Each structure stands twice: as structure tokens, then as C-alpha cells.
Chains A and B, each alone.
Chain A
Amino acid sequence: MSGPSLMDSLFQRTLEDLIKGLRQQLIGEQAFISKALEEIRKEIKSTDLSTKSTALLKLCYLSNLHFHDMSFAAFHALEVLSSPRFSHKKIAYHAISLSFHDSTPVLLLITNHLRKDLTSTNEFEVSLSLQCLSRIANVDLARDLTPEVFTLLSSNKLYVRKRAVAVVLRVFEKYPDSVRVCFKRLVENLENYDPQILSAVVGVFSELACKDPRSYLPLAPEFYKILVDSKSNWISIKVLKIFAKLAPLEPRLANRVVEPICDLMRKTGAKSLLFECVRTVVTSFSEYESAVRLAVGKIREFMVDEDPNLKYLGLHALSIVASKHLWVVSENKEVVIKSLSDPDPNIKIESLRLVMAMVSEHNVAEISKVLVNYALKSDPLFCNEILGSILSTCSRNVYEIIVDFDWYVSLLGEMSRIPHCQMGEEIENQLVDIGLRVKDVRLELVRVARDLLIDPALLGNSFLHRVLSAAAWVSGEYVEFSRNPLELMEALLQPRTSLLPPSIMAIYIQSAFKVLVFCLHTCFVRGGSTAGVSASASYESFDDLSVENGAGSTVAHGQTCTSAPITNESIVNLLKLVELALSPLLGSHDVEVQERARNLLGFVDLIKLEALNSSGQEENDSEQKGVEATKIIRLVHDAFSKELGPVSLSAQGKVPVPDGLTLNENLGDLETICSDIELPSSNTFSFGYPFEEKDVSSFSNLQIKEDSGQSNESTSLLAEHRKRHGLYYLPSGKSEVISNDYPPANDPALQGDNNDTASDLVKLTAESLVPKRKPNHSKPRPVVVKLDEADEKPVAVKHPESRDDSLSGAVRDILFGSEDILPTSSRSNLPSSNRKGKEKQHMITQVESKENVVGDGNSSSRRRKDHSHGKERRHRKKNAEERNETDRKEKESSSNHPRRQKSRQRAEEPLKVPPQTSVIPDFLL
């Protein structure tokens, strides 16, 4: 029966064979691996431990570097673990620490093995098991092995002890109650003079302090001593990390520590330590002017260093400072801007962040200019990084820092022309958004949009399509600001638009529609003398309506009429152009495009039949018809010239449901409701319209009954538009129903209301300080934004509280006196443990008072020499106290288990707790 196993062990492939075979790859990697796995599966079941362990080792290799599952071998690994041989054990531990995790089923079985090895006399075996424990410990393991680890914490073998210290971290994490047992010994190790132990302990504390710094404040004196005395850079770095966490919690501590840190910063030659000092200062000691200055000096050295690592770190440190001391960044502006052209993308991004941190409303223009220049020169990735950060910075908080919107809009246009630009979507959003929000900029906006539209080369760049769609929308919506609508029309209908995707095509057509209506309107209704009495009367009424558009727009109207006279011939040409460009689109496969093209062509047909005939002839002949046509045009124009404002995200919820509208009813019922709404006027749009039906009906109606059909059509078009750009619409046109809650963005009628809100006032005054112009900076949704923030804030506040886990609770317990500093801490503790803490305080203070009388002398022997005399007295007292504490701890820890029981019993008895207010401060330096 020993036959096969013997053969197995004799002819087994070793790990080396496996690797060699894998590298030669005679039969292909996958095939080889699966064959090897097959073998391993067989070998690992062997009874011979050497065979088993070799198989396990091979499996480790495969699982680690080729990611093959090795969970099937979990039990076999345990079997190997039980081998008395060190080599087997080593492989087994290796395999276990690589493959085990919390849900490995055989994890329970490992406890005894670990216990055996932890108590072994061979230090390497102990260290192996500690190493393994540090990786796989779960709650049960941590709980069951706490006593062993505890013993090892005071092992006289350094090799074992430092590992035990490191393992404690994991044990604490998994099983917080172990803190009660082990913590004192851990603290004792802080006083150890061996640098390795010290480094391990400090490492543990720096990890612990990251999670909950407050609990470790009482240990500050020890850390201070280490900081001042330490000669090892590793340790110093860790201690600095601890202080970076502790200092913000206790100003007096910061006062004491800042000097030694600066000393360290001046003296040290090690860059890593230097950097840690700098970072500690800039993160936690930013109030100390001199320290910050020193740190900034070092940062500058870093930044001008040749080594890219140091440069990067310098920039990184600078970005930490930037949040508190902006002057530092502006002082180092040149370096930062220079590093924008660094070959390293990481450095570039870091410096970009810094540059963005410098941006304010005064320098935004010049910084953006510099950045855009850089963007032109740099590679596509970074170029977009730059553009993205410009866009996000400028649009932050509803364009807070932008004063000169004309400039910004032209910047957007410029940016979209940068060859690598991929930020089309963001630019699109901002163009439309600014158009809606900032009224004064529309003139410039239309100009920029026109420039973009007219350039046929841009149509070929698919990244730009989104920008172009915004440009088309803008020029359609604000066509009244255009200098030359005819030119715009040509741009919108140019043949190369066929390169656009259908959705944007549809926007183009829609905009063309708007432009056309505008042209007709200027030609017939306003500019022409053709209009009869009734027409001029209606023109009057229209003017009333258009007052809402603000005075600026009417001025612009005047300009356009003079600058680009629209004659009848040009209209005829225009109509021809439209027909020419759009008739192929009637067969478009995209529903949207087809429908819109059809709409527009239908309109053109209508106009051509009536208006052109009439205007071509003498006016008085066909006055009736002319009026008819102008009426149509007027109505459509009316519909289009509605002001659109931005809408808050939650606006729809605020729309009151009209009486008699039951949202859940059949669509058939809606039909009747719709017909009701049609009648009164085209001014009120309800949000709950069934758009599709409307479209269809209006389209068929179009030819038949002009009047209602027109309004109907415009309604449908607007509705369609609203559907596309729903975000930018006000809930319902200009109806005053909801205007109190959400004033439409730029409605002059409501401007008064708007200005009432304090925040707006502040904004406006702030802007009026700038003499150049006063952009009408409406903030349509202050309420919403604030609500969102308010919702988020409590969550953020709660978060640290919830992290206040049992681990830190336990730590505080040990380090007593936690109640005074942290009211929240006690919440998570059990009442019994709380009282235990108090009791300890009580005892300590008693001992302390005795010690103060007697033991001053002997404690001073350990006192550090380089202390100023002023502090000496206090320090001495503190030192004595601290000694007491540790003495006591030693006593208690040596007899911990029985003591715990006892103290809990005693906690039941009424205690006279001394006033606790001054306990903690005494422990500080």
C-alpha cells in the first residue's frame, strides 16, 4: 500500500520543475497548468507529508501568480500544518496566509495549531504563526488566542515580541475586548529602549490613532518623549503621524509639539522624514505662522528639485496648504505654472489642481487664458483634464466667480475649437445654461454660436456635435439678438449637417424653424409697412407681450432690422432654401428628424401660399390675406418668444395639480381635458400634457383650420421642445401660479420678488461693485441647493460618530478619563465598564496625591534634561504621575483576570467619584 505513495514522492515534480515547465510552455500555458493542477490534486491527498507539502507549495505558486482557486486545499494545508517539521510548517503557513479568509470553513480547526505554535520554544515557529495570525485572524481566533499573544507581548525574545506587538493591531481590530487584556502591556512597550520594539509599537499606535485619535490623547507624553529622543527615522515618521492626528484635538499639545517638529525639520537630512514633518505641519499646525513658513520654505526646495518624486510631493504638500493659506500658492505661482509643462502627467495634474485653487474672480480670465494655451500644446488626455477643470471651476456655484460673461462665453467657444476637446457635453450644458440664466450675455452668446455654426469644418468632429447642438439651440432661441438671421439660416441648413447624428439634426431643424419664424415676423409684422390697421394693432398687443422679454431685446430688434434688412426676395430665397434642404429629410429614418422637417415644411407651404402671394402683390388688394398670414406668423412667433428659464429639480413637485385632473385616469379622458385646454389660449401650458397625441392632432389640423391649428402647432412644437429640453423649462410658461416659489429666471416682472431674497441681494451688490457690467445673475434654485446640503450634512456628521466603535471604546476604558473629553465615547460603552473607568480615576488620583508628597525625587532621575525651567515643575509632576500609572498598570496587568471580576463587583458599590474635570489636562505636557 505504500507503493503508489512511494512512487508519487519519488517522481513528484518539484516547484522548480513546475516553473521550468511553465516557462518552456511546450504544450501551452493553460494546458500545462490544468495538467499540473490535476497532479497536485492527486498528490495533495497523499499520506506522505513531504509530497503533500510540495504539492501545496506548487499550488500556492499557481494560485498566486495565475489566480487558480486553491480553496479545495484548505484542509490539506491544515494537515501539513500539523507536521512536526519546520519546513512543512512553513509551507503550510505560507499557503494558509495566502489563501484563507474569514469565510474559509476550516478556519475553526486552526486555532489549536496556532496555539501550539505560539507557545512553541522555537522562535521561528512562533513568528510564523504570528505572521499567519496577523493575516487571517477573525473574531474567534482573536478571542481564543488573546492570552497567548498577551504572553508573547512580554516575551524576552525581541524577534517574537515585535511580531506580537504588530499582531496586536489585528487582534484589537477583530476582538476589541482584547484591549482590556493587552493594552497595558502594549503601552509598557512604548517605554522600551529597543528601537525595533518601539517601531512596532509606534506603528500600531499610528494605525490605531488614525481611526480614533481622541482615545490616545492621554498617551501624548510618551509619544512626545519618543519624538524628541528617537534616532530612527522610521519611528519619527510614525510618531509624527500620530501627532498629526492628536494635535488638532488639543491646542496645548500642539503648542508643545510644534517646536520639536520644527527642530526636526531643520536638522534632518532624510527627505522622507522631512516630508513627513512638512505634511504634519501643513495639515495639523497650520495656525503656527512660523512653522508654516518654515514648511513652505522646504516645500519650495522640494518643488524646484530635479527629482520628480520630490517635485510631486512638493506640489502635493502645497495643495494641502492651499486650503488654508492661499498666499503660499500665489507666492509660488511661477513654479506651479512651470510644472504644468512637466513631462510627468501626475505632476501636471497636481499643479493643475493648484492653479485651479488660485482662481478667483479677479484672475480667472488670465489663468484661463494661460491654461487654454497649455491645453493647445499638451496631449489630448491632459488637454481635456485642463478643459474639464476650467469648466468645473468656472461653473462652480452657479458661475460664482465669473463676472464678465461675455468673456466666458467666448472662452467656451474657443475651448470647443481646441482640436482635442472632448468636453462637448459639458460645454453644451453650460452654453444653454448660461443662455437661460444670464440675460445680458445672450447677444454675445448668439455671436459665439453663429461662429460655431458657420464653420463647416467643425461638423466633421464628432466630439463637437454636442456643442453644435447647443449653439443651434441658442441661436434659435435667441435669434432676435442675431445680426444676420439669414446667414444663420444658411448655416443651420448647410449640406454638411447631414454628418450630424439625428437627435442633433432635429435640434438644427427646430432652430431653423425659429429663425424662419423670426425672419418672417420681422419682415411682415414689424419691419414692413404692409401691416394694416388690424395688424399694427395686433403688433401693439404683441409688443405688450414682448415687454416681458425685457427692454434689451427690443433694442436688439431695432438693430437687427437696420443691420440686415430682410426683404421680400430674401424671404423667398429663404423659403426655397428651407424646402431644398429639408425635403430629402422627409424620408429620414429618424422619427424625430422626419417629423420636424415635416412640421417646418408644412409651415413653409402655408406661408408660401398666403403670405408671399399677398406681399408680392399690392397691399390693399389682399390685405385680408396678408393679415391672415401675419396673424399666423404672429401666433407662431408668440409661441417661440416665450422666455425659458431654468427650473429647479424639484419644481415639478410644486406644480399644483389642477382641479379636475386625475393623473391616473385613462388617456381617453386626457384627450377631453386637452381639448378643453386648447380653447382658452395658447399661453397656459400644463405640464401634464400628452405630447404625442397633441403632435399628431396638431399636425393634421395644421392645413385645415389655420387659427386654432397654428396655435395648436406652435403648442405642439413648443411642447416637443419642452420635451427635449425639459430641464430648462419653467413648470408652466409664465402662469403666475407657481411664480412665488420659483420665479422664472429672468422675468423682469418678477425681478422685484427675486431681489427680495437676501442671498440674491448679496449677489447683486457684489456684482454691482464691478463697474464693467452687471450680468443679471439670477439664482433660480437657492432653496433647493440648500435643502440638499442640509440633507447631506447630518449624514456627514453622523459618520464619525458611528465609527466610534467598541475598539476605541475599550481603549478609552483603559486610558480612563475618557468621559470628560468625549461625551459620545461613553455611549457605546457598557455602563459597568464606564464605572470601572471612573473607579480607576479615583484610585489614580489618590495615589497621585501621595506620590506628590513623597516621590518627587526619584521620578526626576528619568526626567529629560533639555526642558525649560518654566515647564519643569509641571513636567516633573506629570512624570511622576505617569510612573504611577504604569506601575499600577503593571500590577493590574499581572493579575488581570481575577482583577477584572473583582473590579466589576466593586463597581456595584457606591463610589465617591472625585471631580473629574481636570484629570485629562494633567496628562498633557
Chain B
Amino acid sequence: IHFVLLISRQGKVRLTKWYSTYSKKERSKVLRELSGVILTRGPRLCNFVEWRGLKVVYKRYASLYFCMCMDPDGNELEILEIIHHYVEVLDRYFGSVCELDLIYNFHKAYYILDEILISGELQESSKRTVVRSVAAQDSLVEAAKEETGSTISNIIALAAK
């Protein structure tokens, strides 16, 4: 997989993840081209688009298009499965995920994606495991936050004196 994109129906980008090297200019060009191609495609059409010699597999969930780009000899259906897998994990994690969840927790969407894919390869095919490990990391983060919270309140207490 070369990159993963999440584009809203209005053409707004919600998430980008690049596994191959693209310069900044190329990235925005890719985004522009692809959103042009994909958003104009109607429903009930196939989910594959040939693009610059690569294949882009996309799928629409509610108002979000999930796109993944792969080599032409990759397996389209497999990628489709991966997309679905990702969405299901998101769904489990956020509890019926919606676009706003992804907007406000964009970093978490990334973390989950990282759990699923590493350097463009699927690494975890079990939803439960993914959710569990993300949750575990979250608890680590929370613990750290509480610590910070306490330090800040300490500081405030200090300052109040």
C-alpha cells in the first residue's frame, strides 16, 4: 500500500498516511486528482480506479471515502477487506464511529491505523487485539495525563501560595 487517504464527501481531507515517499507538492496534487476522480463516481460502481499506473481502492462509509493506493498487481479485494477491517476497528473503538469522531480524534485514528498497517502491510487481522492494544496504550496515556494533571495542580497550588 502506498498511501491511505480519508476524504469526506465535500472533498475535505480527514486523514492521510503515506507509506512511500511523496514530496509535499506531490501529496497535495495526489489529493486533488484523486478526490476529483473518486468523488465524482456515482454509487453502484466498482470500487477500483486505475490511476497513474497504480490502483486505488476506495470505499464509501457514510460521508467518508476511504482510499488506499496499491501496486497494480496487488489484490483489490484484499485491500477492500483491509479498509473494511479498519472501519470495523474504528467502529469498535469509538462505538459506532462517525466523521466527527475522526475529526476530533485524528491522532487516534492514526494510532489505530498504525496498529493495523505497518509500512504498508497488514499486520494485525484480529479486531479484538487491535482494540485491546490501543486501549492499553490509551490507559498508559491517561495515567501519564493524570500525573501531569497532578503536577499542574501542584504548580497551581504553589502559585496560589
Residues of A at the B interface (CB closer than 8 Å) are: 2, 6, 9-10, 15-16, 19, 23, 50, 57, 60-61, 64-65, 67, 69, 85-88, 90-91, 94, 101-102, 124, 130-131, 134-135, 159, 162-163, 166-167, 169-170, 195-196, 199-200, 203-204, 207, 210, 232, 234, 237, 241, 271-272, 275-276, 279, 308-309, 311-313, 343-347
Contacting residues of chain B (10-58) with chain A, CB-CB under 8 angstroms: 12-16, 19, 21, 24, 27-28, 42, 44-50
User: In the assembled complex, how far is the CB of residue A74 from the closest CB belonging to chain B, in whole angstroms?
Assistant: 14
A86 partner residues in chain B, CB cutoff 8 A: 137, 140-141, 143-144
Knowing A67-B24, A169-B119, A196-B123, the reply to whether A87 touches B141 (Cβ < 8 A) is yes
Beta-carbon contact of A344 and B106 below 8 Å: no
Known: A6-B155, A169-B119. A87 touches B48 (CB 8 A): no
B-chain residues with CB within 8 Å of residue A91 when the two chains form the complex: 107
Q: In the bound complex, do residue A162 and residue B50 qualify as a contact, i.e. CB atoms below 8 Å apart?
A: no
Q: List 16 A-B contacts (CB under 8 A).
A: A57-B107, A60-B107, A85-B147, A88-B144, A131-B118, A169-B119, A234-B78, A234-B122, A237-B75, A279-B75, A308-B46, A308-B47, A311-B46, A313-B77, A344-B46, A346-B45
Least Cβ–Cβ distance between A745 and chain B, in angstroms: 37
Rounded to whole angstroms, the CA-CA distance of A347 and B45 in the bound complex is 9
Output the nearest chain A residue to B31 by Cβ-Cβ distance: A67
> Chain B, 78-120, contact with A by CB distance < 8 Å: what is the 0/1 string?
1011000000000000000000000110110011001000110
Complex Cα spacing A707 to B80, Å? 79
User: Smallest CB–CB gap between B101 and chain A, Å?
Assistant: 12
A207 to B19, CA, bound (A): 14
Which B residue sits closest to A65, measured CB to CB?
A: B13
Provide the residues of chain B in CB contact with A23, threshold 8 Å.
Answer: 103
Please name the residue on chain A nearest to B47 by beta carbon: A309
Q: Quick check: B107 and A16 within 8 Å, CB to CB?
A: no
Contacts of B49 in A (CB 8 A): 346
B116 → chain A, closest Cβ, in Å?
11
Residues of A within 8 A of B157 (CB): none
Q: When chains A and B are docked, how far (Å) is the Cα of A214 from the Cα of B34?
A: 36
**Cβ contact within 8 Å between B148 and A50:** yes
Given A16-B104, A64-B16, A86-B137 in contact, is the A347-B46 Cβ separation under 8 Å? Answer: yes
Determine if B159 is an interface residue (Cβ-Cβ < 8 Å): yes
- Tell me if B128 is interfacial: C-beta within 8 Å of chain A: no
Report A-chain residues with C-beta under 8 Å of the C-beta of B44: 308, 343-344
Inside 8 A of A343's CB, which chain B residues have their CB? Answer: 42, 44-45
Known: A19-B104, A86-B143, A343-B42; 4 extra A-B contacts, CB below 8 A, are: A67-B28, A199-B123, A203-B122, A241-B73
CB-based contact B140/A124 at 8 Å: yes
Given contacts A16-B104, A272-B77, contact A124 B119 (CB under 8 A): no
A309–B48 contact, CB under 8 A?
yes
Docked-complex contact B119 and A134, CB < 8 angstroms: yes
Partner of B125, one of A6, A199, A346: A199
Whether the pair A199, B122 counts as a contact (CB closer than 8 A) is yes
A85-B144 in contact (CB<8A): yes
Docked Cα-Cα span, A519 to B152, in Å, equals: 102
Q: Is A64 a contact of B106 with CB atoms below 8 Å? A: yes
When A and B form their complex, which 5 residue pairs have the shortest distance between CB atoms, in order from nearest? A272-B77, A308-B46, A134-B119, A87-B141, A344-B45
Which residues of the partner chain B approach A94 to less than 8 Å between Cβ atoms? 107, 110-111
Nearest Cβ on chain A to B94's Cβ, whole angstroms:
15
Which one of A19, A50, A170, A272 lies within 8 Å of B80 (CB-CB)? A272
* Residue among B19, B42, B71, B75 having the largest count of chain A Cβ atoms under 10 Å: B75
- Complex: how many Å from CA A64 to CA B28? 10
Smallest Cβ-Cβ distance to A9: which chain B residue: B152
Which B residues have a C-beta under 8 Å from some C-beta of A?
A: 12-16, 19, 21, 24, 27-28, 42, 44-50, 71, 73, 75-78, 80-81, 103-104, 106-107, 110-111, 114, 118-119, 121-126, 133, 136-137, 140-141, 143-145, 147-148, 152, 155-156, 159
**In the bound complex, how far is the Cα of B143 from the Cα of A578, in angstroms?**
95
Residue of A nearest to B59 (CB): A309
Complex Cα–Cα for A131 and B27 (A):
21
Does the CB pair B140–A87 fall under 8 Å? Answer: yes
Question: Chain A contacts of B12 at CB under 8 A?
Answer: 65
Contact at A167–B118, with CB atoms within 8 Å? yes
The smallest beta-carbon distance between B9 and chain A, in angstroms, is 16
Name the CB-closest residue of A to B121.
A203
Q: Are B118 and A163 in contact (CB under 8 A)?
A: yes
A200–B77 touching, CB < 8 Å: no
A765 to B103, CA, bound (A): 70
Q: Please give me the residue from chain A that is nearest to B16 by CB atom.
A: A64
With a cutoff of 8 Å between Cβ atoms, the chain B residues found around residue A200 in the complex are: 121, 123
A residues in contact with B81, CB < 8 Å? 272
Residues of B within 8 A of A169 (CB): 119, 121
Q: How far is the CA of A159 from the CA of B133 in the complex (A)?
A: 9
Best-buried of A134, A167, A170, A308 by chain B (most CB within 10 Å): A134
B50 with A346: CB separation less than 8 A: yes
Interface centre among A167, A275, A344, A347 (most CB of B within 10 A): A344
Chain B minimum-CB-distance residue to A125: B140
A350 shortest CB reach to chain B, Å: 9
Closest to A245 in B: B73
Residue of B nearest to A349 (CB): B50
- Chain B residues with CB below 8 A from A131, complex form: 114, 118
* Cβ-defined contact, B122 with A124, below 8 A: no
B141 to A, closest residue via Cβ: A87
CB distance from B48 to the nearest CB of A (A): 6
Chain B residues contacting A50 (CB-CB under 8 Å) are 148
Pairwise interchain contact A10-B107, C-beta atoms closer than 8 A: no
Q: Chain A residues with Cβ under 8 A from B80's Cβ?
A: 272, 309
Q: A90 CA to B136 CA in the complex, in Å?
A: 13
Please, how many angstroms separate the alpha-carbon atoms of A130 and B42 in the complex? 40
The residue on B at minimum CB distance from A207 is: B121
If A60-B107, A312-B46 touch, whether A90 touches B121 (CB-CB below 8 Å) is no
Residues of B within 8 A of A207 (CB): 121
A6-B45 CB under 8 A given contacts A16-B104, A313-B77: no
Tell whether A271 pairs with B77 under 8 Å between CB atoms, given A166-B119, A167-B119, A343-B45. Answer: yes
Taken together as a complex, chains A and B put the C-alpha atoms of A16 and B12 apart, in Å, by 18
Tell me, in angstroms, the Cα distance from A159 to B104 when the chains sit together.
28
B137 touches A124 (CB 8 A): yes
Given A86-B140, A124-B133, is A237 in contact with B24 using a C-beta cutoff of 8 Å?
no
Q: How far is the CA of A9 from the CA of B159 in the complex (A)?
A: 14
A85 CB contacts on chain B under 8 angstroms: 144, 147-148
Q: Among B106, B114, B133, B155, find the residue whose CB has the most chain A CB atoms closer than 10 A.
A: B114
Q: Are B76 and A309 in contact (CB under 8 A)?
A: yes
* CB-based nearest B residue for A22: B103
Contacts of B14 in A (CB 8 A): 65
**CB–CB A272/B78 < 8 A:** yes
CB distance from B23 to the nearest CB of A (A): 8
Q: Within the assembled complex, what's the spacing in Å between the Cα atoms of A134 and B1?
A: 13
Would B103 and A19 count as touching, CB distance under 8 A? yes
Complex interface: chain B residues within 8 A of A308 (CB): 44-47
**Which of the residues A10, A134, A196 comes within 8 Å of B152, measured between beta carbons?**
A10
- With A6-B159, A272-B77 given, is the CB distance from A90 to B111 under 8 Å? yes
Most A CB atoms within 10 A — which of B13, B48, B118, B126? B118
B45 proximity list for chain A (CB < 8 A): 308, 343-347
Distance (whole angstroms) from the CB of B153 to the closest CB of chain A: 11
Nearest B-chain residue to A165, judged by Cβ: B123
Q: A131–B124 Cα gap in the complex (Å)?
A: 13
Task: Provide the bound-state CA to CA distance between A135 and B77, in Å.
Answer: 25
Smallest beta-carbon distance B127→chain A, Å: 13
Expressed in whole angstroms, the Cα–Cα distance for A131 and B137 within the complex equals: 14
Q: In whole angstroms, how far apart are the Cα atoms of A196 and B130 in the complex?
A: 12
How far is it, in angstroms, between the C-alpha of A399 and the C-alpha of B119 when the chains are bound?
A: 48
Contact B121 A67 (CB under 8 A): no
Residue of A nearest to B159 (CB): A6
Known contacts A86-B137, A346-B45; A309/B77 CB under 8 A: yes
